[in-house]
Amino acid sequence: MFSISILVFSLAAAAYRLWRSLAISKDSGNHTASRLKILERSHETGVALSRLVEHDGAGSWPPKASHGDWPSELLPYHEIYMEMIPLLSSANPSLNNDVNIKRLNRFRSLLSKKLSERVDMVGVYELLSSIEAGNWSGCCREAFNGFYCCIAVLRHSYRWAVIPIVKVAQEEKIVDFPSQIDMPWAYLQRHFGVESDSGSNTSNVLHNYNDMGERAYKININISEAVDTTEDAFFRMFYDVEVIAYPMYQDMVSANIAFEQGNKKECLKHMQDINIRLRELLKVFYQNLVESRVAKGMWLRYCQGFQAWGAGRMVDGEYVEFDGVSGSHNLCFMVLDAFLGMKSYMNEQNLCRYIPRNQRLMVATFRKHSFFDKLHADNDQEISHQFGKIIQHLKVFRSAHKNRIMPYLAQPAPERMMMTAGKSFNEPSNDAAHLKLLDNMLVSRLKDTIAVASKLLA
């Protein structure tokens, strides 16, 4: 029965990938560089989108990334991660702290040894310094994006050293990272404009895929088919939604241009296109965040834990702790909220810590030019109706997402303390209170969305 379910999943996944490739091909006109250049010349939101694509995306979105086809100075990082990752995960997590401490120390020692022996720090420093000075002759942006991912996953693997994550690792509040993955991280974070010691949805997820949609750096090797399929299905969702979101961003720019030019007919057309794409985008979550594709127990132990962080460092005499990768880091939902004129669900500090600079700028620009509050009841009924459909899609999704995600987070994992990837609380007791806190956060965003709907009706 299990093999049949795996076969069904594989066929369904293949069908979805085929649909996605056909959809992209059919709509290739919306993805052309020429259209983006026109939008860039026409509106500030187009400038922001173009900057994101050219600087962070290596000319595309989702961003292009290559893995291992790099300058010789960077190649050892790729090779070392591939060698180490089979040693990270275990099919039988231990509840014995002494055993886990030995495993943790053994993994970190071996990783440190490989990095020390094989990474030419001088060469890496010179290459990254040259890039920071604006000289890209030694490394293309596509390779740089892949390198960003590799360093991020190396840091997360060193942070935890044992998957599923265990209590003794969670209790560490300051982790002494090898200089080989600390020094380049500072360059990478400055380049992308992110402050956290942990990775992000961009570094850990989007930059983990190549042009063929293949994921380079996995977390678990040779644990089980259920773990493999859960890991692949879960992370692909976040890549695929950006595939669909990119032409939606372009439609948003076009809607802004048309509205400001008084071309309500053209604006309405783009609003209708936004809703069509949004429906397809949300289907990615509806169809994949289900037990048959993302198994609850496997997800919590073998996917979610690796993306967490819950550690920090001393900054100006004070301890600063960083969170891990969160679903709230998804660009598409931040842009949708901004297009509606909604305030950010992250404060400025967390935006700077976890969201790359050019993504922040694009979101802020869409919020600045939101025309939701400029609609007139008598003259803009059709456009208002399309805004209402966007809001309704988000209301339904946020309600459904809250109900779906909570059972995933509530799965038993006795080897660890309650901990989410995006929020680093990890006290050893009162898991019910932690789940309630998370539930309240999801409910809060749902209420914000409902408030926007009420404004439209008013």
Token pair of 303 as six digits: 């996917």
Q: Which residues are annotated as a binding site?
A: 401
Say which amino acid occupies 284: V
Token pair of 169 as six digits: 């690792």
In degrees, rounded to 5, the angle at the alpha carbon of residue 70 between the alpha carbons of residues 65 and 76 is: 115
Q: Which residues are annotated as a binding site for heme b?
A: 401
Strands (E), 306-456: 311-315, 318-322
CA 222 and chain centroid, separation: 25
Do the Cβ atoms of 160 and 415 come closer than 8 Å? no
Burial bucket for residue 309 (CB in 10 Å: 0-12, 13-18, 19+)? buried
**φ, ψ dihedrals at 314, nearest 5°:** -85, 125
Do the Cβ atoms of 187 and 132 come closer than 8 Å? yes
CA 309 and chain centroid, separation: 15
Do the Cβ atoms of 281 and 244 come closer than 8 Å? yes
DSSP state of 318: E
Residues 62, 53: Cα–Cα separation, whole Å = 8
**φ, ψ dihedrals at 311, nearest 5°:** -140, 170
Q: Which residues on neighbouring strands pair with residue 174, listed in sequence order?
A: 312
- DSSP-assigned states of every residue in 58-76: TTSSSPP--SS-S-TTTHH
Run of H or E including 354: helix 348-354
Residues 139, 137: Cα–Cα separation, whole Å = 6
Q: CA-CA distances (angstroms) from residue 84 to 74, 79, 108, 113, 342?
A: 16, 9, 10, 11, 43
**φ, ψ dihedrals at 94, nearest 5°:** -90, 145
CA 448 and chain centroid, separation: 22
